[in-house]
Amino acid sequence: MKGGYGVLAVLDVGTTGCKTSLFDEEGNMENTSSREYDNVYLSPTRVEQNPEVWVESLLMTMRDCLKKSSEAENIRAVIVTSQRATVIPVDRKGKPLRNAILWLDKRGLKECEFIRSRIDERTIYRKTGLRVDPYFSAPKILWIKNNQPSIYDNTSKFLTVHDYIIYNLTGEIATDQTQASRTMLFNIDDRRWDDEIFEEIEIDQDKVPETVVTGTEVGELKREICEKTGFPQGIPVLAGGGDQQSAAIGLGVIREDRVGVTTGGGSFIVTHSDRSLRDKEMRVLCSVSAMPDKWILEAGIFTAGSIYKWFKDEVGKIETVLSKVFDMRPYEILDMEVRIDWPRRPSGLILLPHFAGSAAPYWNPLAKGVIFNLTLHTTRRDLIKAVLEAICLEIKKNMRIFEEVSGKLIREVYVGGGASKSDLFNQIQADVYGKPVMKTSNIETASLGAAMIGWTKLGAYRDLNDCISKVVRIDSKVYPDYDLTKRYEAIMEVSEELYHALHERGLYKRALEVLDRGSEAC
């Protein structure tokens, strides 16, 4: 037990899995346990989850984590961080009235049109920092109101995943400001629910929880939770907020010349801001930061690492077989196929990574994936590299917008998430961005960031700046090949022209009508 502080338990609930991790005050992970789960795909546009799956999976990880640890008696607190914008309607007893509607669900397209008819989209963006998009909570709540009115009427509160987990742990209902800032109902400058938005789009304001500052103690672990998990009684539970705000802390992104990139199934790009900024074209978002009285500029890419997984599952079956023979991850073998191609060069392909629609910078839920410039000379190696390049090119488009909006030049890129395990991917990131890429020593940046928020709240550090300076450690630094950066600049221009050509000709909508016929579109 270093420093006499004990350990802090971080509960991190993601889209495809959850984990419990124990961190000491220096940011060292003492132990961790994780569980994966499958979401419920009702159609290409409808994605749900049974909220009890999150609770059951999380309790298993809490129990397993303690079994492998000698620190049970030294747990100082529990802090919760999670995915954002997912909606769970619960009754007065906190029981879910239906499955949760996940953040990546797009059924709320008609509700978005209704919102635009009642309040100008630029007013929404000015107040909330968000675009009108089915990604966020408000259209999902309206969809329930319009399509399942009895559920809406019987809903006591609409909760996020973070809030639902906290309720199950403590019996208390609350949300934090970082989670609230992704609902499209929260004024990020006044730090309160926005009365005008609720009134105009006809959502009852008493159906959302009270908000607290990130890091606030919201209750203690219930006796029954302690009995099921082995956690000691009387442990405080803290609101750790949104996973991407936590990840920004875990990456040390507290300066405007740094950007954090977390790539797992999707990619999230964040940069710190002392000001509440807006993009005149509404391409990137502004949300509440976990840092007190600060904000983050943010851009999300729905499908990033998930495309690499799709390639592995559908095209890389031989790598899956070989991984078992050589005791390696399939992705490591895919990477090796690319690395033998020397000297480094672009793939010669352009892949538009919109396999589940596009978020920033295009915000087109109808966009689809495209592979362009295939020839008879195209190799598997080219296809593998094209997937990784596509992720980086989409990230770079958003970085440029960050620089434009903030007026600050980004000098360093800090990376985390599962994809940052790949040295190949990190090198391609550096070459595409034309900036040094730093991989932190702990790639589970959301969990680490939540731990840092918790330890600061518990008094181990003066403030988050002090904590970051002592906890965030750089594991490796990769420099770009600037000749390749110039080539990728030209490739990015063609990528943008390709997207706009498809969009402006109405081909995404036409593809939905002709190629996706029979699938439910909204």
CA–CA separation, 46 vs 49, rounded Å? 10
CA–CA separation, 197 vs 127, rounded Å? 9
Q: Burial-class residue 132 by CB neighbours within 10 Å (0-12, 13-18, 19+).
A: buried
pLDDT (tens, 9 = 90+) of the chain, 522 residues, equals 345 679 999 999 998 899 999 999 999 999 999 998 889 999 878 999 999 999 999 999 999 999 887 777 899 999 999 999 999 999 999 999 999 999 989 999 999 999 999 999 999 999 999 999 999 999 999 999 999 999 999 999 999 999 999 999 999 999 999 999 999 999 999 999 999 999 999 999 999 999 999 999 999 999 999 999 999 999 999 999 999 999 999 999 998 999 999 998 889 999 999 999 999 999 999 999 999 999 999 999 989 988 999 999 999 888 889 988 989 988 889 999 898 877 789 999 999 999 988 999 999 989 999 999 999 999 999 999 999 999 999 999 999 999 999 999 999 999 998 899 999 999 999 999 999 999 998 888 999 999 999 999 999 999 999 999 999 999 999 999 999 999 999 999 999 999 999 999 999 999 988 987 655 544
Long-range CB contacts (within 8 A, 24+) of 146-153:
146/110, 146/111, 148/98, 151/89, 151/97, 151/98, 152/89
Dig out the tokens for 258 from the structure. Answer: 């740094």
CA–CA separation, 284 vs 278, rounded Å? 8
Domains of the chain in start order, with CATH, are 2-249 (3.30.420.40), 251-440+481-514 (3.30.420.40)
DSSP E strands, 221-375: 236-242, 258-263, 267-273, 285-288, 295-301, 350-352, 370-372
Q: 211-212 and 175-176 as β-strands: parallel, antiparallel, unpaired? A: parallel
Residue 334: other Cβ atoms inside 10 A: 26
pTM: 0.90
What DSSP letter does each residue of 345-410 carry, written as one string?
A: ---S-EEE--BTBB-TTT-BTT---EEE---TT--HHHHHHHHHHHHHHHHHHHHHHHHHHH----
CA–CA separation, 335 vs 118, rounded Å? 50
Long-range CB contacts (within 8 A, 24+) of 186-191:
186/128, 186/211, 186/288, 187/127, 187/128, 188/127, 188/128, 188/129, 188/276, 188/286, 188/287, 188/288, 188/295, 189/127, 189/276, 191/288
CA–CA separation, 56 vs 198, rounded Å? 33
CA–CA separation, 81 vs 241, rounded Å? 5
Is the CB of residue 349 less than 8 Å from the CB of residue 372? yes
